[in-house]
Structure 1
C-alpha cells in the first residue's frame, strides 16, 4: 500500500464530502457540518492546526538516545503507540454513504487493533451508530472504547450497561456533543451534564470513564473529582461551537491543573507524528486522531487505517530521536517552544 493510491481511492469514495486535501485544515469544507467541516466559519477546526503550528520542536542531536520507545499501557492495555483512533459517526450524512456505519467502524476498530492501539466508536441519532461500534469492539475482544452522547440520564445508563457487558477497554461521554442539533431533531435531545449527573454516570460502570470535551482547567478538575479516569481535551473538531480556541492553546493550563489525577488525552489537528510529540510535550499522555483516518478507512479499509497509524508512529519515533526523547512516558516540556 502507498499513500498516493490510498488518497486517490479515498477521494473517489468520499464523493466530495471530504476533498482529501493535501493538508486537512478545514478550509475547503468550512461550515460543512453535516459534512467534514467545522461549524459556522470553520475557525474552530482550523485553529486546532494553527495552534499546533505555533508549537515548535527543539532539535537536539548530541545525546545518548539511540532508540525511541513509543509503547505505553493505557486502561490496562499494552499499546504500541500513544495514538488512538477517535470516535467518528454519521457515515451517510458526513461522508457520503459509500460505506455503511457498520463497515466504516469495523474498518476503524480493526485497523487500530492491527496497528497495536485502540479504536474508539461513537454515538448518534441513529441507533445503528452505537450498535455497530459496540459490535466491532466485541469482535475484537473488547479492544476499543465506545463514547456516548450526553443524553438523558436513563438513556446514558442503558448504554453504559451495554458497554460494560461488551468488556470494552473503557467507556466515554463526549460532553462536547451537548449542542448537537441533529440529536434533538431526531427526538433524542442532548444537554450539558451537572457534576452530580456526571458522578452518577461514572459510578454506574466499573469501566474506566473518559470525559471528552474538556477545554478549561476547572472543568478538568470537575471531571476528575467526579471519578473520571481520563479526560479528552477537545473542541469536538470544531463542529459544535465556532470561534473556540485550539486544543494546543488550552492543554498546558489544563495539564498544570490536573496532571497526576488521571489520564490526559487530546484531539484536534493531529496530522503527523511530530504533532503527537508536541501534544505530549504540552502535557498529554496520548492523542486521538479522527479525520485523517477517515481517508485510511475509505481509501484502504482496515489496512489503510493501520497504514496511517503506523506512519504516524514512525514519524513520532523520528521526532523523538531528534529531540533526545527516549520514551513517550518521559517527554519533557523543554523540547517545545512557542512562536506567535
Structure 2
C-alpha cells in the first residue's frame, strides 16, 4: 500500500466531505464546518499552511549527521518519531460516515502505535465519541492520550477519571474548542476557562495534563502557572475563529517564553516531514497531525495511518540529514534561513 493508493481510496470514501486535494491548503473547502474546512472565509486554516510555506531552510551537508535519531520521549513513553496523531472526532458528520466513530478512532490509535508513536482521542456532543476513544486506548494497553472538550468542570472531571481507568498516558482539554459550533448543535455547550477552573481540573488528574489551543504568550505562561505539563499551540485547524494567525507565526514567541518549563506541541498544517522540521526549529518539542491521518484512515485503515506517519518520519529524517541535525534536540533556529 502506498500513499497514492491511500489517497485514491480516501477520495472515494470521503466523497462529498473532503476532496482529498493534491495540496491540502483549505482553499477548496473554505467555510465547510461541519465538514473538513476552515470556519468562515477559511483564512485561519489557510494561514497555517501559508505560515509554514514562508519558512526557508538552511541547506548544510558538511557534518556528521549521517543517520539522525528522530526518537523522543514524552510522558515516560519512548516514541519512534516526534509526530503524534491529533485528537479527531466526527467521522459521521464531518467525514461522511463510511467509517463509524468507533472504528475510526480504533484505526487512529492502533495505527499510530504500529508506527511507533501515539494517537490522541477526542470528545464531542455524542457520548460515543469519547467512549470510543477510551475503548480504543484500553484495547492498546493504554497507548493513547485523551482530550476532552471544555465543558463544565464536573463533566470534565468525570471524563478525566474515565481516562485514568482506561490507562491513558495523559489527558487534557482542547480549550480552543470553546464555542465550537458542532458541540452547540448537539446540545453540548462549551466555553472558556478561568485560571481557577483550570487549577481545579489539573488538581483532579493523576495524569499529565495538556492544554490544547494556546496561541498567545500570556496564555502559555498561564498554562505553566496552573500546572499543565504540556500545551498545544493550535488554532483548532482553523475551525473555530476566522482570521487568526498561522501557528508558525506565533510559535517562536511562545517558545521563547516557556520552552523548557512545559512541553510544547504544535498543531496545524503539517503535511510533510519538512513541515515537522520547521515546527521543531521554531520551538516545538513535537507536532500533531490531523487531516493527513484522516486521509490515511479512510484510504487504508490502520495500515494507511501507519503509512502516512512513517512517510512523514522518513521525510523528517532526510530533511535532518540535509540541515545537519543528528537528533531532535539538535534542531534549533539555525535550521531556519533568516
- Judge same fold: TM > 0.5, yes or no: yes
Equivalent in the alignment of 1:261: 261
After TM superposition, list the pairs within 5 Å mapping 1:211-230 onto structure 2: 211-230=211-230
C-alpha separation between the residues in 1 aligned to 2:300 and 2:320? 28
C-alpha separation between the residues in 1 aligned to 2:232 and 2:110? 22
Equivalent in the alignment of 2:270: 270
What is the Cα deviation at residue 184 of structure 1? 2.7
Given that 2:170 and 2:209 are in contact with CA atoms closer than 8 Å, whether structure 1 keeps it comes out as: yes
C-alpha separation between the residues in 1 aligned to 2:81 and 2:39? 31
C-alpha separation between the residues in 2 aligned to 1:184 and 1:297? 27
Equivalent in the alignment of 1:245: 245
Q: Which runs of 4+ in 1 moved over 3 A?
A: none
Equivalent in the alignment of 2:109: 109
Structure 1 unmatched ranges of 5 or more: none
Over the aligned positions, Cα root-mean-square deviation in angstroms equals: 0.7
What is the Cα deviation at residue 289 of structure 1? 0.1
Cα deviations by residue, 1:167-200 (Å, 9 ceiling, x for unpaired): 1010110000001133233222101000110011
After TM superposition, list the pairs within 5 Å mapping 1:121-270 onto structure 2: 121-270=121-270
Equivalent in the alignment of 2:319: 319
What is the Cα deviation at residue 15 of structure 1? 1.6
Given that 2:34 and 2:182 are in contact with CA atoms closer than 8 Å, whether structure 1 keeps it comes out as: no
Equivalent in the alignment of 2:22: 22
| Local SS of the residue matching 1:211 | strand
C-alpha separation between the residues in 2 aligned to 1:241 and 1:48? 13
C-alpha separation between the residues in 2 aligned to 1:81 and 1:208? 20
C-alpha separation between the residues in 1 aligned to 2:4 and 2:54? 28
C-alpha separation between the residues in 2 aligned to 1:185 and 1:288? 27
What is the Cα deviation at residue 337 of structure 1? 2.3
| Local SS of the residue matching 1:288 | strand
After TM superposition, list the pairs within 5 Å mapping 1:293-332 onto structure 2: 293-332=293-332
What is the Cα deviation at residue 224 of structure 1? 1.2
Using structure 1 for the length normalisation, give the TM-score: 0.98
Does residue 1:64 correspond to 2:67, yes or no?
Answer: no
| Local SS of the residue matching 1:270 | coil
| Local SS of the residue matching 2:92 | helix
Equivalent in the alignment of 1:47: 47
| Local SS of the residue matching 2:211 | strand
Cα deviations by residue, 1:281-320 (Å, 9 ceiling, x for unpaired): 0000000000011110000000000001000000000000
Using structure 2 for the length normalisation, give the TM-score: 0.99
Cα deviations by residue, 1:181-222 (Å, 9 ceiling, x for unpaired): 332332221010001100111111110000000000100000
Distance 1:3 1:181, change over 3 A: closer
Given that 2:51 and 2:247 are in contact with CA atoms closer than 8 Å, whether structure 1 keeps it comes out as: yes
Cα deviations by residue, 1:100-128 (Å, 9 ceiling, x for unpaired): 10010011011100000000010000000
What is the Cα deviation at residue 137 of structure 1? 0.4
C-alpha separation between the residues in 1 aligned to 2:185 and 2:115? 37
Given that 2:173 and 2:212 are in contact with CA atoms closer than 8 Å, whether structure 1 keeps it comes out as: yes
Cα deviations by residue, 1:243-273 (Å, 9 ceiling, x for unpaired): 0000000000000000111100010000000
